[in-house]
């Protein structure tokens, strides 16, 4: 079982509610983010503010990182004023960022060289899951370390699975993101077809959600498409990053990813259109533009 002193680095759209859930579960948090107001917000809720990742690790034996991409994780953990500069032998780093599996393995090696335990533990569930504390957590690392910190992970997650050794959590997350992206694109394509055929997309959604096409993605994203509401729970730019990591990993392993590559091209077009900060359900707008119709239109 983990101790009650926890460091938390990365207070973005996911990190803030995760930090709050840890405090609700009785953990004492020391927090840091490169964005000052985010630190102030969580400090107001009862956390202790730190001025660097190094300072977080000096104050807490268990440090969680929740940052955007591989380079951010490397900088926060391995870089100057990073976690390893402040960590002691026997400390634990749990990187809950969604990054390239090879980067997780590099960070793990850096941690092991200093006698620091490591888990890569990316999450799925978006902002709603982070707020509710029901995230799916995919973990890579040593079983003994995983077992000791399961209570901690349960404070932010609803499903926690040890998937294998270092990098396995992020490989599993890439598989998750491929399926989510393909689901969103398929839902958008189907609803555009239904709308252009003169049907009410909401009726179509209600008709199909109880059948084989039903999915968590359909239930979460179809109503957003129907309402034309793309307020971000998970931003397009972050899904672009995940699919990029999937394609690179596929190249390294000799695994073609044709569907992933196609959706990545759609997302690239949306990024060029200035939609990178929209929810990833806005993949549907690429399909709307191709068809000259809007799912949410009259």
> Residue 98: CB partners within 8 Å, gap ≥ 6?
69, 122, 123, 170, 173, 177, 238, 241, 242, 245
Closest CA to 24 of 132, 126, 115: 132
292 to each of 38, 192, 195, 196, 252, how far by Cα in Å? Answer: 40, 9, 11, 9, 38
Closest CA to 166 of 122, 215, 224, 223: 122
Helices 283-291 & 258-272 angle (0-180, nearest 10): 80
Helices 201-208 & 216-227 angle (0-180, nearest 10): 170
Catalytic residues: 173
Identify the helix (H) or strand (E) that includes residue 162.
strand 157-164
**Whole-angstrom distance, CA of residue 115 vs CA of residue 117:** 7
Quote the radius of gyration of the chain (alpha carbons, Å): 20
Own/partner long-range contacts of 46-51 (Cβ < 8 Å, ≥24 apart): 47/8, 47/19, 47/23, 50/7
């Amino acid at each position: 079982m983990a101790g009650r002193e926890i460091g938390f680095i990365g207070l973005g759209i996911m990190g803030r509610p995760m930090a709050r859930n840890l405090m609700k579960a009785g953990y004492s948090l020391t927090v840091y983010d490169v964005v000052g107001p985010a630190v102030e917000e969580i400090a107001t809720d009862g956390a202790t503010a730190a001025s660097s990742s190094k300072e977080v690790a000096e104050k807490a034996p268990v440090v969680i990182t929740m940052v955007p991409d591989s380079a951010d994780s490397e900088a926060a953990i391995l870089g100057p004023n990073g976690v390893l500069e402040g960590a002691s032998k026997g400390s634990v780093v749990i990187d809950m960022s969604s990054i390239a599996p090879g980067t997780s393995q590099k960070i793990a090696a850096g941690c092991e060289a200093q006698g620091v335990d490591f888990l890569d533990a990316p999450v799925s569930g978006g902002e709603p899951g982070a707020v509710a504390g029901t995230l799916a957590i995919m973990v890579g690392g040593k079983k003994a370390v995983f077992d000791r910190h399961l209570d901690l992970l349960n404070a932010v997650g609803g499903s926690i699975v040890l998937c294998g050794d270092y990098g396995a959590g992020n490989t599993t997350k890439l598989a998750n993101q491929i399926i989510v992206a393909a689901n969103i694109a398929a839902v958008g394509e189907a609803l555009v077809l239904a709308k252009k055929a003169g049907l009410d997309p909401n009726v179509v959604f209600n008709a199909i959600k109880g059948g084989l096409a039903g999915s968590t993605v359909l239930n979460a994203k179809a109503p957003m498409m129907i309402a034309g509401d793309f307020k971000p729970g998970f931003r397009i730019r972050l899904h672009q990053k995940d699919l990029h990591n999937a394609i690179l990993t596929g190249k390294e392993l000799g695994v073609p990813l044709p569907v992933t590559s196609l959706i990545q091209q759609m997302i690239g077009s949306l990024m060029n259109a200035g939609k990178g900060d929209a929810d990833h359900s806005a993949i549907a707008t690429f399909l709307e533009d191709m068809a000259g119709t809007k799912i949410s239109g009259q």
